[in-house]
Amino acid sequence: MKQFLGTGVALVTPFTGENEVDENALRKLVQFQLKNGVDYIVVLGTTAESATLSKVEKETVKNIIKSENNGQLPLVLGLGGNSTSQVVEDLAQENLEGFDAILSVSPFYNKPSQEGIYQHFCEVSKASKLPIIVYNVPGRTGSNMLPLTVTRLANDFDNIIGIKEAAGDIVQAMTIIRDTPDDFLVISGDDMIALPMVIAGGAGVISVMAQGYPAEFSKMLSLGREGKVKEAFTIQFQLMDGIDLIFKEGNPSGIKAVLELKNLCESSVRLPLVEASSILKSALKVFNSQLK
């Protein structure tokens, strides 16, 4: 699955000041990614505020991104949940045309055991017509998918092709890289440790920061994958303060403030999230000007 090597972007859903999906801004944002070197786009992930979107809005977002992308980059669709039967039903009913893989989060809130997580993805694997990237994000789900569970899934199901690993634990990531098959994709879900993971043998990143700075982030990871470690870390050190800032008041409030600075969309988010504070926006403005 070489199309998922490198820099993937977890795209936001732009909103107007009236809290509606901003279709023009979404088109502009997709074009910005296409022109600046990212390798694939993730649609309707957590960063897209998908939990707050209606079914109609989700279809609108999917169709706009597919239309603007026009087959240029691989597309990954976020499709997961904490009810196994509902995820299976959604996979059966969802129009997956134009998508190349599914990103499916480990069940949240339920806090299943490792065996429960394994059995959940067993059912998802059986139901999916597309390759699956499982998603481990303990800070949101309340449970950590341990390396042994990931290794079982990697070995037992041909259509589970990778993991977006966002535990923020480089040792856990390295263990997964070591213990899974060579063609299993270990993708960073944490912007700050994406480069170290790539250097350790990871496949790349599904990034929040990269959609604001796609050229810089993509170049950093490309250099890392080429073994040009010193040059890659030069860019990493330039981006680090910005990565901290965009998550300071929650995601995607921070990255939307960056996108507003770049005239790509407004910084509006939907409740229960709130827009980035004026203090954070000022700090991001300083970072943005210094990065130039």
Which member of 58, 62, 164, 281 is catalytic? 164
Q: Which three-class secondary structure state does DSSP give residue 165?
A: strand
| CA–CA distance, 99 with 103 (Å, rounded to integer) | 11
Q: Which of left, alpha, beta for 131 (phi over 0: left; psi -120 to 50: alpha)?
A: beta
Q: What are phi and psi of 231, to 5 degrees?
A: -65, -40
Structure tokens at 234: 């030069």
142 burial type by CB count under 10 A (0-12 exposed, 13-18 middle, 19+ buried)? middle
Cβ atoms within 10 Å, residue 104: 25
213 in active site = no
Q: With the CA atoms of 63, 203, 257 and 286 taken in that order, what torsion angle do they form, in degrees rounded to the nearest 10? A: -150
Which member of 40, 118, 135, 213 is catalytic? 135
User: Any idea what DSSP says for residue 54?
Assistant: -
Is residue 43 within 8 Å of 79, Cβ to Cβ?
Answer: no
Distance from the Cα of residue 235 to its chain's centroid? 20
Q: Give which of 61, 11, 46, 60 is closest to 32, Cα–Cα.
A: 11
User: Any idea what DSSP says for residue 203?
Assistant: -
281 in active site = no
Residues acting as catalytic residues? 135, 164
